[in-house]
Amino acid sequence: MENGSRQWRFQGNKRLSLTSAISLRGIVEMLMGNLSTDDPRPTIPLGNGDPSQFPCFKTPTTAEEAIVDALHSAKYNGYAPTSGVPSARRFNRAIANYLNRDLPYKLSADDVHLTSGCLQAIEVALAAITQPGASILLPRPAFTFYESRAAYENLQVRQFDLLPDKGWEVDIDAVEALADENTVAMVVINPGNPCGSVYSYDHLELVAETARKLGILVIADEVYSHITFGSTPFVPMGVFGSIVPVLSLGSISKRWVVPGWRLGWLATTDPNGILQKSGIVESITGCCNITSDPATFIQGAVPQILENTKDEFFSKLMGTLKEAAQKCFDGIKEVPCLTCPSKPEGSMFVLVKLNASVLEDISDDLEFCMKLAKEEKVVIIPAGTAFGMKNWLRITFACEIWAVEEGIRRIKAFYQRHAKKQ
């Protein structure tokens, strides 16, 4: 009755409606909604980096047992203890010990903050560095959550290119040109999503020296840490912590193939204590105090998961990804409208250039992906829409080998049907 005249005082938060515009999940859902319903063939999901549905990517039994033991102990049914008390520090220490295996100095439990997946570590990192007027340097292309979250925090974004012909390395000159007195941080994602790149020790050292020169910290997204299967080994950015302070972000989502378990961390890898002196550590703690913790039984399982997983699990996983990446790379070479500037060496993705001019009725990456989903039931990501890389496509090879092969076969058939006649 009163609907017509009543003036409601509330309305949606505009900052949130803006950030939802470019979610990867939204794009995948849109493509899934475009699949043909009369085609009896299975859908080939080469969009998301979540292979947990495939039997060959099943997490090790030791990790499952760690969860079961934590539940059966009945010690983890309450709220998580406040960070700082000894029982909470045990979990942080387990993560510090895990990270210390690859560092030239030692992190303590106090350097590690538990988060709900790496996503929440990104949220905490960006919240902790935000200042009025501050800007952050993000790679282009990058995992889109950074841009959305920076917009939410009112952090100004400036993008430096990654160079396809140099294994998607950071364009150092662009970083130097973009930074000014308001710039506070740069983000490095290594191994890379969406590029499948793995940076060398020398390149990461150069990034660290550049950031030092500019007086900015490095946010190192290492959610794909150790997921490497080429000639370049994984080097954590924290190795250069004495050159530049680093916020190292990670999780068990990818290496243990359990993205649903939501356990991640933010570590301050900064042996000179600069983050402490500048108040960043206090801001991180403050931010963690006003957000929710990961589920306590997952926290309780962390020491066992990190300490008891056998090397054979990781080597088998890398073997599968290596074979799948090779099949994907070789297959793409046989599709004339696609080129791949560099073979993926890590993470779960490859970025592929689309030459739409050789196709009859497809004008760009989005149309390519929409029609591919409709006609072939193959889901891949239009990188123009997802990452601002017009006429590029992101393909994940983190699938069963048969699915990668079948996906490539269908992409080839799709190309043949749509190729311009000579």
Ligand X SMILES: Cc1ncc(COP(=O)(O)O)c(C=O)c1O
The binding site for ligand X (CB under 6 A) comprises: 49, 117-119, 143, 189, 193, 221, 223, 251, 253, 259, 264
Which amino acid belongs to residue 390?
A: K
Do residues 59 and 259 lie in contact, with contact meaning Cβ atoms separated by under 8 Å?
no
Pull the structure tokens for residue 266.
């933010």
Residue 251 beta carbon to ligand X: minimum distance, rounded to whole angstroms: 3
Q: Specify the residue, 251 or 299, whose C-beta has the smaller distance to ligand X.
A: 251
Residue 113 beta carbon to ligand X: minimum distance, rounded to whole angstroms: 14
Residue 119 beta carbon to ligand X: minimum distance, rounded to whole angstroms: 4
Q: Specify the residue, 96 or 118, whose C-beta has the smaller distance to ligand X.
A: 118
* Distance (Å, whole) CA 353 – CA 339: 5
Longest dimension (CA), the chain: 72
Neighbours of 172 (CB within 10 A): 15
Neighbours of 257 (CB within 10 A): 23
Do residues 129 and 185 lie in contact, with contact meaning Cβ atoms separated by under 8 Å?
yes
Q: Specify the residue, 139 or 415, whose C-beta has the smaller distance to ligand X.
A: 139
Give me the phi and psi of 187, to 5 degrees please: -110, 135
Do residues 317 and 205 lie in contact, with contact meaning Cβ atoms separated by under 8 Å?
no
Pull the structure tokens for residue 49.
């980096």
* Distance (Å, whole) CA 271 – CA 41: 55
Q: What is the dihedral of CA 242, 247, 248, 254, to 10 degrees?
A: -160
Conformational region of residue 348, where left means phi above 0, alpha means psi within -120 to 50, and beta covers everything else: alpha
Q: Specify the residue, 196 or 245, whose C-beta has the smaller distance to ligand X.
A: 196
Q: Is residue 305 classed exposed, middle or buried when 0-12, 13-18 and 19+ CB atoms within 10 A define those classes? A: buried
Q: Specify the residue, 256 or 414, whose C-beta has the smaller distance to ligand X.
A: 256
Q: Specify the residue, 167 or 259, whose C-beta has the smaller distance to ligand X.
A: 259
* Distance (Å, whole) CA 398 – CA 385: 22
Q: Read off the DSSP letter of residue 256.
A: T
Q: Specify the residue, 118 or 136, whose C-beta has the smaller distance to ligand X.
A: 118
Q: Specify the residue, 118 or 404, whose C-beta has the smaller distance to ligand X.
A: 118
Q: Is the peptide bond before 194 cis (omega within 30 degrees of 0)?
A: yes
Residue 28 beta carbon to ligand X: minimum distance, rounded to whole angstroms: 12
Give me the phi and psi of 293, to 5 degrees please: -90, 160
Residue closest to ligand X, measured at CB: 117
Q: Specify the residue, 145 or 297, whose C-beta has the smaller distance to ligand X.
A: 145
* Distance (Å, whole) CA 237 – CA 248: 7
Residue 398 beta carbon to ligand X: minimum distance, rounded to whole angstroms: 10
Neighbours of 77 (CB within 10 A): 9
Residue 222 beta carbon to ligand X: minimum distance, rounded to whole angstroms: 9
Q: Specify the residue, 207 or 337, whose C-beta has the smaller distance to ligand X.
A: 207
Residue 181 beta carbon to ligand X: minimum distance, rounded to whole angstroms: 28
* Distance (Å, whole) CA 153 – CA 107: 29
Residue 143 beta carbon to ligand X: minimum distance, rounded to whole angstroms: 4
Residue 238 beta carbon to ligand X: minimum distance, rounded to whole angstroms: 16
Report the chain's terminal Cα–Cα distance, integer Å. Answer: 67
Residue 249 beta carbon to ligand X: minimum distance, rounded to whole angstroms: 7
Residue 152 beta carbon to ligand X: minimum distance, rounded to whole angstroms: 16
Pull the structure tokens for residue 331.
């297959």
Residue bearing tokens 């080429």: 230
Q: Specify the residue, 49 or 60, whose C-beta has the smaller distance to ligand X.
A: 49
Radius of gyration of the chain from its Cα atoms, rounded to whole angstroms: 22
